[in-house]
Structure 1
């Protein structure tokens, strides 16, 4: 049996669990709520923590797998403290384990961090929480890198960062300017990497909202449910910014920053893309693999890759144009051959793997007689493709939907022509049987 705490006990326990450390300002002694500083925020380099389960209740997690949305049933766990960072400040949440049970999501709910897991835990139990350090350190590098790039872009050119995104492979900041020149990008990149080489310390400080410094530090505003002291990330001599995220303690841990370039953003703004730390090394490794593969395929050196690809693209366009011309000629010839046949049938069927809609329509136009039922298909014989049925308007209107159904397709028609997409081209034989039976029945009538 798992113990269930009363509402009043849970409230008291939750409050006490958030009183985690103290700070002296002048002669005043403050208790600092952990809503402003989970263990992961007080020590961003901590990889594990022994703590206690405060509550555990059934919960759901919305996920997406292969483009399909799913709902996973599990449990929402509150801990006395946590080494796992809930999403916030533009930084995604951590991943990790509670007693070797994978933590699938961590979200902030008011002052608490909610850990979603698949297995229930006993309230009051001591648990060991571990963080996925590779993911955490990557987020620390990108987040601190964002603060640095933002500060330098602002100090050099007055470009304010209005938002940012920590992506899986690359991150970007949205700058409040319509254009950032290549020369400006080079200057920003050189200066941020100079600060990294100077090993500038990054210090976490706490201030109150009535502190004179509060109105001086960079910020996009506090959350509506904020309470207690304000956490400041201070890149000494460079930037001071309100932030709840996890950060490196020294810019040297960023290793390096590479600005990839810019794209036009929303509302006359510019998105500046960058990589920090290990992502730069991974990008360089991927780029080398691509370069090596292109060198092998194109049979020339890296400096000639662009020119070689441009030549190939031109050649492909010429071949595609020639191929279309040949297909048109073939469509006309095919139709004329059938029409010139002395014993031509009332049913004309044709499948061509390399055809297209234009090919089918040319054949149908060339045949152009209502006394012939035309069934054409193009694409993979056993998978998906396109189909066209033409003939007398009343006949096509009657048979078109049935043809589409047999081919597991979708289509529409008017004026004696019904065409669309087929998902089961392997059923075209059954369509021919349907059409043949219809023609034979009309002959008997």
Structure 2
């Protein structure tokens, strides 16, 4: 049986029927890395949009009737959902997918298929295994060495196909279908039953696979080979789903901790590596990067607040200039966390004219402004929270 998540990997919400619910105990790994025995319930549904772990891809997360699903595994033809509280057998229930996690898995998995296909067709390197990780995927090839020029050529070929927006399609075949013999496969699990799911990258690759995938290579955006190392018999390459994965790999963090890693790396550079002039240049570059990161966020609002201990008036003005103030209010501060420092309020002229003096008052500072900029000094940087609350209140009611 193909689950709804396999028939259409883009479905994020789904209503189905509870087939069974039985108490059980599961060993779960916490964020600390420690395993903990948790009591709960195994729930089997008529169908599901939550992918059960398999084929090198981790299981999905989401909710079942509003209750978090902590694990999804496959048992024969069934997907087993582990939840902390019981649900009524026979009832209709809504599933919701943790979409950020799912889409990340879709991009990485389809990216692995693409890299695997091109490594084979271009250099004759077969994939012997792969693993989808939180930060990047690891693909093992049956060669003792991949030359530097080959890595670059492979990455370029991968991104050429992404730019060409090659479609990815799914088909179901039975084992006795002659077409099955033409597809790439590492074999079927012993408990497999029913039709075989084939993932096709048009004109390039056909592969037996149970995982979730994008419908078009353009949805991968950019793929990057971030690392390559020799093993005893095989070579492992690490695949990132975007160019920013190169930075994730260098700083050894995931996306959730990227901002903190940038800050720590930057502080280290300031202290240990760069003379004063280089420090200033780096600070300006950081201002541009911060602004671009905000502008590229599809979920950004119309209020941007930032505080940095190190920085100056130019640092704040660069950010304001790069972001633009026609439809965004910016509140930027530099200086001691609870001591003295500088502040900048920027945004639409009428907003800044009205709120600038109030911001200075809340910070117990002094300032002046014109043309959508109000700058000043304060000795009470610890009062920033009050300013943020004021600006959040106004930004929700403004038509910027």
Could you say whether these structures have the same fold, taking a TM-score greater than 0.5 normalized by the shorter chain as the test?
Answer: yes
Change (3 A) 1:140 1:44: same
Identify which of 176, 184, 192 aligns with 1:210. 176
1:300 aligns with 2:266: no
Residue 297 (structure 2) aligns with:
none
Residue 52 (structure 1) aligns with:
17
Per-residue displacement from partner, 1:2-33 (whole Å, max 9, x unpaired)?
xxxxxxxxxxxxxxxxxxxxxxxxxxxxxxxx
> Counterparts of 1:75-90 in structure 2 under 5 Å?
75-90=41-56
Residue 164 (structure 2) aligns with:
198
The CA deviation at 1:264 is 2.4
Report the Cα distance in structure 1 between the residues aligned to 2:42 and 2:211, rounded to whole angstroms. 22
> Counterparts of 1:308-319 in structure 2 under 5 Å?
none
Corresponding residue SS for 2:117 = helix
Report the Cα distance in structure 1 between the residues aligned to 2:151 and 2:50, rounded to whole angstroms. 35
Matched length: 267
Change (3 A) 1:289 1:146: farther
1:94 aligns with 2:53: no
Change (3 A) 1:67 1:136: closer
Report the Cα distance in structure 2 between the residues aligned to 1:139 and 1:187, rounded to whole angstroms. 25
CA contact (8 A) 1:138 1:278 kept: no
| Pair member with larger Rg | 1
Change (3 A) 1:188 1:281: closer
Residue 35 (structure 2) aligns with:
69
More relative contact order in 1 or in 2 (CA 8 Å, sep 6+)? 2
Corresponding residue SS for 2:11 = coil
Gap runs ≥5 in structure 2: 250-254, 280-400
1:151 aligns with 2:151: no
Residue 8 (structure 1) aligns with:
none
The CA deviation at 1:223 is 1.1
Identify which of 139, 142, 157 aligns with 1:173. 139
Residue 3 (structure 2) aligns with:
38
Identify which of 69, 72, 77 aligns with 1:106. 72
The CA deviation at 1:64 is 3.2
Residue 137 (structure 1) aligns with:
103
CA contact (8 A) 2:223 2:243 kept: no
Corresponding residue SS for 2:110 = helix
Identify which of 245, 249, 256 aligns with 1:280. 245
Identify which of 171, 177, 187 aligns with 2:153. 187
Please report the RMSD computed on the Cα atoms of aligned residues, expressed in angstroms.
2.1
The CA deviation at 1:99 is 1.0
CA contact (8 A) 2:199 2:207 kept: yes
Identify which of 256, 261, 269 aligns with 2:222. 256
TM superposition score normalised by structure 2: 0.64
1:164 aligns with 2:130: yes
CA contact (8 A) 2:159 2:223 kept: yes
TM superposition score normalised by structure 1: 0.57
The CA deviation at 1:299 is 4.4
Corresponding residue SS for 2:237 = strand
The CA deviation at 1:228 is 1.8
The CA deviation at 1:281 is 8.4
Report the Cα distance in structure 2 between the residues aligned to 1:291 and 1:122, rounded to whole angstroms. 51
Report the Cα distance in structure 1 between the residues aligned to 2:69 and 2:156, rounded to whole angstroms. 39
The CA deviation at 1:290 is 5.7
Corresponding residue SS for 2:122 = helix
Per-residue displacement from partner, 1:129-182 (whole Å, max 9, x unpaired)?
000000000000000000000001001111000100101111110111110111
Report the Cα distance in structure 1 between the residues aligned to 2:145 and 2:234, rounded to whole angstroms. 7
Report the Cα distance in structure 1 between the residues aligned to 2:199 and 2:273, rounded to whole angstroms. 51
1:220 aligns with 2:194: no
Report the Cα distance in structure 2 between the residues aligned to 1:289 and 1:206, rounded to whole angstroms. 49
> Counterparts of 1:339-418 in structure 2 under 5 Å?
none
Corresponding residue SS for 1:104 = strand
The CA deviation at 1:282 is 7.2
Report the Cα distance in structure 1 between the residues aligned to 2:33 and 2:18, rounded to whole angstroms. 34
Corresponding residue SS for 1:191 = helix
Per-residue displacement from partner, 1:320-342 (whole Å, max 9, x unpaired)?
xxxxxxxxxxxxxxxxxxxxxxx
Report the Cα distance in structure 1 between the residues aligned to 2:209 and 2:12, rounded to whole angstroms. 21
Report the Cα distance in structure 2 between the residues aligned to 1:149 and 1:290, rounded to whole angstroms. 33
Change (3 A) 1:279 1:147: farther
Change (3 A) 1:98 1:282: farther
